Structure 1
Amino acid sequence: MSKVRQKARHLPVRLVTGVAVLLLTAWGALALWHQVPQPAVRWFTLALWAAAGLSMVAALTGLLSRKSCNFTAVVFVSAVAILAAWWSTLQPSHHRLWADDVAQLLEARIDGDHVQLKNVRNFEWRSETDYTPRWENRTYDLTRLRSADLVLSYWMGPHIAHTLVSFGFDGGERVVFSLEIRKERHESFSAIGGFFRQFEQILVAADERDIVRTRSNARGEAVYLYRLQMSQANVRALFLEYLHAANELRRTPRFYNTLTSNCTTIVFELARLIAPALPADYRLLLSGHFAEYIHDLHGLTPGHRYAELQALGHINERALASDASGDDFSMSIRQGVPGVPADEVSP
């Protein structure tokens, strides 16, 4: 077989391998960018890694001599091995200088029908950066647990939302659970960084005036609330699964992952413990459509189209009005929400 024919036969393999090398080079560059803190070291390691990756692509496309190709392949494989070894050393930790709003880990103690939660967040937010920190210990009677509400807060367009679940008790008590990134004091959220072990995760339990109001009133995010249609047994089971998840996370720190371990996937994972047949769906990745997914599974208030539930569940106007009037925040935001009984929206 002629050399021309040999090259033609191997061309598709080289092209596929070249694309794979380019993707691996891009992944490694992003990992180094988000994990190497010192600028000088970061740029130096990025330059070396990029040179190794691009040289390998050049070798695969026939731009280098055979001798150079062999050397380049050895260098690139060595670089990949070093990167993989370094990546394996990155471990999650509870011991860092955390931002105020994620400084304390939730701890749950369960004694039959009684639950004690340590480190429930109840900050007074005047703006996103002006607040009074407050962490509280609270007790709950599971025999008085009555409802669960799904809350979606949209912060970057219609397809991505932060997912929270708010549990209600007789007498108006409420507590909200939210899986969040655990930022250090110098950090800010980065969806890309969430793919590269930049953040640990934390399960926050908070008062609604803290964790919901800060999104609707302090940050100006679009917030929607939906009453979940669940049996009392399943509401209790979901509540307890959140507590077990919090205690497990307290024992074993974990990295947050934008795709596979985020605020929406935890709701799905916990719900699947109760109903294992729940189907996977693209809307678990596009979290802004998670409420629509639940609606299609008949998990929201029946007798309403999803668009109607969404319109009636938009709380921002009512949330802002409650600040001006001094009305109870939790009651105000549920006014007109389908499925919420009258005794939850009036004193």
Structure 2
Amino acid sequence: MIELSMTQILSTILLMLLGIAVGAQVAPIMSWVERRQCAILQRRVGPNRVGFFKFRIFGLGQPIADAIKLLFKEDFVPPYVHKAFYVMAPVIPVITGLAVTVAIPWGSHLIVNNQIVTLQAVNLNSGFLLIFALSSLAVYGVTLAGWSSNNKYSLLGGLRASAQMVSYEVAMGMSIIPLVFIWGTLDLQVMIARQSEILFGFLPNWGLFHAPVSFVIFLVTIFAETNRLPFDLAESEGELVAGFLTEYGAMRWSLFFLGEYSMMFVMCVLTVSMFFGGYEIPWISQHLLLEYLTPTLGEALTRWILFPIGLGVLLLKVVLLMWFFVQVRFTIPRFRYDQLMKLGWVYLLPIALVNLVVTAIITAFIKFH
């Protein structure tokens, strides 16, 4: 019993550290990716000079140079701000963005010391509800930054962020309820396992094919949830200087983006887990590989081999989705604020309601007849 407890404790700590490490590295990597992709779309060179000694491969040293610059940049605090809340505000998005990584399913499970170790730091039956609960707290940091800056532009940015979060989380929540009807569970691990099957004999049994309307709604709402273009109305430099970021600089400024990119990564993982099979390889399920390799290698070793394969598949899907985020940022212009609110309340909410009712009727008809 003591061995089991120690195994579970150590595995939980390691999985939490894995999530925090990956979430913390997303911001510098994505800052480089966005600059390079923007340069490609606009037919520019982009960052290509910063490297290591004479090795200047695509400017890969640029994130390190940015980090050094932000660390040593003067941290100026305006005299008219509410200092305690001004200092506290950037920390909230970082804490929530990194804490939410505990619900990420990195794989199925391993066998360690003859004990089953689930590859999810916090193994809950309602994994994505925990993600929503923690992600919704990030807006407190933005709103608090807008208010504590004692600046009208910052305050408007904070108010926009809170109104935007309320407007889009309603549709977001309703968009995933059909998946609960279809899979019959709130557990992300069970959802992913169900998506390892084959649909109609040739399609992967992804949530995308079962609930395409839910996928579209969810994809649009996570852009608004993470304050990404074309829904970054909380910053909107054309109207509000820099919105809630107006009075921030140096590392405090960068902390907001660390939280934003971490949340973007987690939302992409959640999307992949619910709609694209998570860590499962299309058409070749881990269960099939387990049956094939276990007689030769044994179950414990087979699961250790499948773990990095599944992790690589998950990260590949997430990278492709995050690349799509970058494409949208430099393709679609920013919405006006009234258009943003209209899209959330007038279009997405009714569509999500109709989708919910139709899916419930179809699912009930299939299951009970």
Structure showing greater Rg: 1
Q: Which structure carries more helix by proportion? A: 2
TM-score bracket for the superposition, by shorter chain length:
under 0.3
Q: Normalized against structure 2, the TM-score is what?
A: 0.24
Q: Normalized against structure 1, the TM-score is what?
A: 0.25
Flag the structure with more relative contact order, 1 or 2, with Cα contacts below 8 A and sequence separation at least 6: 2
Q: Which structure carries more strand by proportion? A: 1
